Amino acid sequence: MSTTTWGWLVLAFPLAGMLVTALGYRRLGAGESRAAGWIGTLAIFLAFVCAVGALISLQGHAASHRELVSSLWSYAYTSGIDARMSILVDPLSVYMILVVSGVSTLIHLYSISYMERDRGFVRYFSYLNFFVFSMLLLVLAGNFLLLIVGWAFVGAASYLLISFWYRRTTATTAGIKAFVINVVGDAGLVLGTYFIFKHTGTLDLLRSFHAAEHGAFGHATNNGDLVAGCVLLLVGAFAKSAQIPLHTWLPDAMEGPTPVSSLIHAATMVTAGVYLIARMHPLFERAPAAQDVGAVVGALTLFVAGTIGLAQTDIKRVIAYSTMSQIGYMIMGVSVGAYAAGLFHLMTHAFFKALLFMAAGSLIGAMAGEQSLERMGGFRRALPFTYACFIVGGLALSGIPPFSGFFSKDDILLETAERGGWHWALYGIGYAGALLTAIYTFRMIFRAFHGEPVSEARELEGGHLAHAEVPRNPATGEQEDTDVGFPGPAHAIAERAWPMRIAMGLLALGAVGAGLVQIPKADFVIDDFLKPSFATAGRYEPAGKTSVLVIGLTLGTLIGLAGIALAYRLWVRGGRDAEGRYPAAQAIWRRVGPLYELCLNKWYFDELIGALVVRPAAALGGFARDTFERVFVDETLIGGATGIVRAGSAAVRAAQSGFVRYYAALLVLGVTGVGLYFLLQA
Amino acid sequence: MSAVLFFIAAIGVIAGAVGVVVMRNPFFSVLALVCHLIFLAVLFLLLRAEFVAAVQVVVYAGAVMVLYVFVVAYVGGEGESIGERLHGVGNRSRPPGGGSALRVGGAAVGGALLVELMIALLGTGLEATGGDGAPYSPGPRTYGTPAFIGKLLLTRFLLAFELASFLLLIAAVGGVVLARRRGGLEEDDDRAALTPLDLLRPRGTGTTAEGVGRMTLGAGDGGGGGGGGVASGYRS
Amino acid sequence: MSIDWYLAVSAIVFSLGALGVMTRRNPLVVLLCLELMLNGANLALIAFSRMWGNGDGQILAIVVMTVAACEVCIGLGMIVALYRRRLPIDVDELRELQG
């Protein structure tokens, strides 16, 4: 079977899964059957198998012939645009579909237990399959059209899944917020496509790149249109990948079920921006200004998100800011041209971040739906497996060797330093971010698992899973029920659900071992694999000087360990007081006073965007509704038009007065008129 | 001589016409018209149209006007005072814009018509009308004699002749139909008179009885609507 | 007198009739004024017939008289019917065709 056929099958299986679960909603949802979950998981697993098949088949081609395009049909062929339904199977897309389908399979498996007895079980898997289909479409797209389609679908799936528990107001608000910001990104993407299309004249990706490489944008770099197009593409990437300033939707997106956060907002959708920049590298290489923008924004985000993560108390939001920070690394990586490093970090991050979210889901289940760190403590003995997963994920995230995160993160930082000049500043920020990462990650772990066990932990140690009598919204404390539109009554923990254990276990293995494929100076599996996709990239070769390498790696390790040690000191050794606060940490926070407020309030970005964008937009909408619509359209245009018609018809109606004398007068007048006419004629 | 006669007849004609328009009492208007018709016959004679003049007097003044007199005597009609005519009456419905507007407007339009006709006649320099007309020589069958007319009627204008008689027949039948009484209803009967046939007939079909408002089957839409139809009509 | 004079008289009578039609409220009088107009037209026809010397105008005048008679018959019949139904004998009151 040809490589591209494998590619089409990769798309077909999740689509089929979505259709089967969606159309068979009634049959599959009967009773408490979990058939829909298994169908969904099977669909994605088959997609993964086909992705592996595509990989094997692709490697069978010669290295220079590994960019394969296949079209099903021509969608529109008009005015110079030939928009076809075509996919591009090359090492980059195969890499992405492997990561996406692999992690998705495990998350589907996890969800079967996590979403048990939720009234929306079937709907959940339908949405999730739709999401995976969209993401695969995005990465397999062979032209800008399908890329944009996949992009938009992914945004829609994200909205559907964030507001999955749709009777929760916080969830629906969060879903809308995510969607609106995503649409801003969509607009950027489409406009960017236009700017590029203007010069290359084609929507096809490969042909576009070929045109760019052969002078469609002139022979100097930083052509105005190209820079504009690339910056707009970056806007799209930033919205999707939650970079500053379009990042405010990601923490709110934690309103969705934990597996959704794990899949969409850690491993796959938010990495779409990274993929976009990597895919568009021929264009970005010719617009270094855009690359610089990307690098700076990535660095900025990784630092700011790290600081915010230090102050958050909702466990899912801590992990969300961690995601934002790590994606900042990836964006920085691909923006400076370290494509392999950035994508490598994408893969390892997918593993350990999904693992962390899954473990968090297990912990939240043990807490009967409570998500605040302030109420958690001492779960070490009650949840050993979850604890182990947290540790593995945390170490990988903090960049401790030999875990995977170490290799990938340091790879990016080294490549950044390689670029020289002002990139050393980014290098420094990167390490500062690494320190923050270690601190907040282990702050979370130590607070939740060390110290005195809380009541839920004690109950669990006694063998009884805690249960909330009255289901409540974890964010606002509002009372809910467990019917459709709200979470179900069951809470699942990894220690008791084998699907969760299998999923988390496999991911933990990945988090531990994935680094081995790209040990600097030792093996270059990722580099070599992805090389054909980046054949025309400048500076693709891995980092140079060994001395810099060794210093960098050592520095990274030390910083990670220092962070863990600091966290240990503050949140384990510092002890916890009667009200559940940590005095040692409190002392430090008090010393930096306003900085703490800044971090706690997420650097006031929400308020800033609210004042700059939301309020003017709402005012404009209010003006449009009250003044423009009411006065101008309703009263003047419509009222005027109808008024004129009414006046006209009233005038005409007056002629039908029924008075015979009027008619007679009209007659005589007419005769006079006709006579006048003839008189004048003669 | 003929000029004098012309002026007498012309003055008579115009005076009669003015009388018809101006007189308050419709009976006096009829009499004025009769007077007008007779003077018009004189004018016809002056124009050598003997037969037409005779027909005018015998048929028009003699038969049609007599019919008019009968009807005016029967119906009567109300006189209008000058004041009413100019300003309209208070509680009587009047056309929008007030009765006076229409009267003034009507006078203006009529005046305009007159002026235009005068211009057409006198101002355009028609030559053929300047003379006395075609040459005339008296005789038994000359222009204007009954024989002359009769010959024309039966040869050149036969179709018109026949059609005119047809028209007369139709008019006669129509007149009878219009003025007869509807069977079963006394004209002085004011109470609601329902026959079984009326009950079967659907309401609101628009019989004249409904229209006049004498037939009401309760406060139904059809009866009420039909009854209100006269005064309120299709007011939107 | 030349033919012009007769035509002038005809015009005056016709205009007076039109004025009467537009001005009077009693339908009987309106019909009378209508007769006036017809007579005015008759006079014009006779005058022109005299001008040309053939009898066409006179024949037409006779036909006009016939038509006038018919019309009077019908009109008066309607007025009688109106009177019988106790409707107001006033053209301003009879407005059911009002649109």
CATH of the domain at C32: 1.10.287.3510
User: What is the C-alpha to C-alpha distance for residues A502 and C2, in angstroms, rounded to an integer?
Assistant: 127
Around Cβ A525, how many Cβ atoms within 10 Å? 13
Query: Which of B92, B93, B113 to substitute to test the interface with A, most A CBs within 10 Å?
Result: B113
Could you read off the pLDDT of B123-159 as tens digits, one per residue? Answer: 766 676 677 777 777 777 788 889 889 998 999 999 9
User: C50 at the B interface (CB within 8 A)?
Assistant: yes
Domain boundary residue among B55, B79, B103?
A: B79
A614 and A578 housed in the same domain: no
Q: Give the Å distances, CA to CA, from A282 to A90, A210, A240.
A: 15, 9, 21
User: What is the C-alpha to C-alpha distance for residues A87 and A142, in angstroms, rounded to an integer?
Assistant: 4
Could you read off the pLDDT of C32-54 as tens digits, one per residue? Answer: 999 999 999 999 999 999 988 88
Query: B116 to chain A: which residues are within 8 Å by CB?
Result: 672, 675-676, 679
DSSP B181: P
Contact A665 C99 (CB under 8 A): no
Contact A656 C99 (CB under 8 A): yes
Structural domain for A637, as ranges: 606-681
Tokens of A602: 């997420």
Q: Is the model's pLDDT at A300 over the cut of 60?
A: yes
A661 and A595 housed in the same domain: no
Give the closest residue to A372 by CA, choosing from A622, A581, A638.
A581
Q: Give the Å distances, CA to CA, from C61 to A29, A97, B53, C6, C38.
A: 97, 104, 10, 15, 9
The answer to the question of residue C29 being in a domain is yes
Instruction: Tell me which of A372 and B205 has the higher pLDDT.
Output: A372
Contact B14 C6 (CB under 8 A): no
DSSP A87: E
Confidence of residue A452 (pLDDT cuts 50, 70, 90): confident
H/E element, A72: strand A68-78
Could you read off the pLDDT of A106-145 as tens digits, one per residue? Answer: 999 999 999 888 888 899 999 999 999 999 999 999 999 9
Q: What is the dihedral of CA A118, A121, A125, A131, to 10 degrees?
A: -50
CATH number at residue B10: 1.20.120.1200
Which pLDDT does position A471 carry in this prediction?
81
State what percent of residues in chain A have pLDDT above 70.
98
Which pLDDT does position A539 carry in this prediction?
64
Residue A645 neighbours by CB under 8 Å, 6+ apart = none
Instruction: Tell me which of C17 and B130 has the higher pLDDT.
Output: C17
A127 and A146 housed in the same domain: yes
Q: Give the Å distances, CA to CA, from A431 to A153, A417, A428, A501, A521.
A: 36, 11, 5, 33, 21
User: 3-state DSSP helix/strand/coil percent for chain C, to nearest 5?
Assistant: 75, 0, 25
The answer to the question of residue C74 being in a domain is yes
A483 and A353 housed in the same domain: yes
Could you read off the pLDDT of C49-80 as tens digits, one per residue? Answer: 998 888 899 999 999 999 999 999 999 988 88
Helix residue ranges, H only, A141-222: 144-162, 169-200, 205-213
Tokens of B165: 């008689």
Contact C66 B167 (CB under 8 A): yes
The minimal CB distance from A668 to the residues B102, B109, B236 is found for B109
A110 and A149 housed in the same domain: yes
Q: What is the dihedral of CA A328, A329, A335, A338, to 10 degrees?
A: -160
* Total count of domains within chain B: 2
Domain boundary residue among B25, B48, B79?
A: B79
Structural domain for B39, as ranges: 1-79
Give the closest residue to A294 by CA, choosing from A273, A264, A308, A309.
A273
State what percent of residues in chain A have pLDDT above 90.
39
Tokens of A668: 């005589």
Could you read off the pLDDT of A486-508 as tens digits, one per residue? Answer: 887 778 888 888 888 899 999 99
Largest alpha-carbon pair distance within chain A? 120
Residue A85 phi/psi, 5-degree rounding, is -85, 90
Contact A665 B109 (CB under 8 A): yes
Q: Find the helix packing angle between A3-23 and A121-140, rounded to 10°.
A: 160
A677 and A591 housed in the same domain: no
A623 and A509 housed in the same domain: no
A512 and A633 housed in the same domain: no
Global pTM value: 0.69
CB pairs under 8 A between A and B: 35
Query: B115 to chain A: which residues are within 8 Å by CB?
Result: none
Cβ atoms A543, A520 nearer than 8 A = yes
Q: Is the model's pLDDT at B223 over the cut of 80?
A: no
- By C-alpha distance, the chain A residue nearest B97 is A654
A253 CB burial (10 A radius; 0-12, 13-18, 19+) = buried
User: What is the C-alpha to C-alpha distance for residues B3 and B24, in angstroms, rounded to an integer?
Assistant: 33
Contact A661 C25 (CB under 8 A): yes
Query: A665 to chain C: which residues are within 8 Å by CB?
Result: 22
Cβ atoms C33, C24 nearer than 8 A = yes
Q: Give the Å distances, CA to CA, from A106 to A351, A510, B92.
A: 10, 12, 92
In this structure, chain B runs to a length of: 236
A82 and A33 housed in the same domain: yes
Tokens of A93: 């897309």
Confidence of residue A388 (pLDDT cuts 50, 70, 90): very high
The minimal CB distance from B67 to the residues C29, C76, C95 is found for C76
Tokens of A679: 């008189």
User: 3-state DSSP helix/strand/coil percent for chain B, to nearest 5?
Assistant: 65, 0, 35
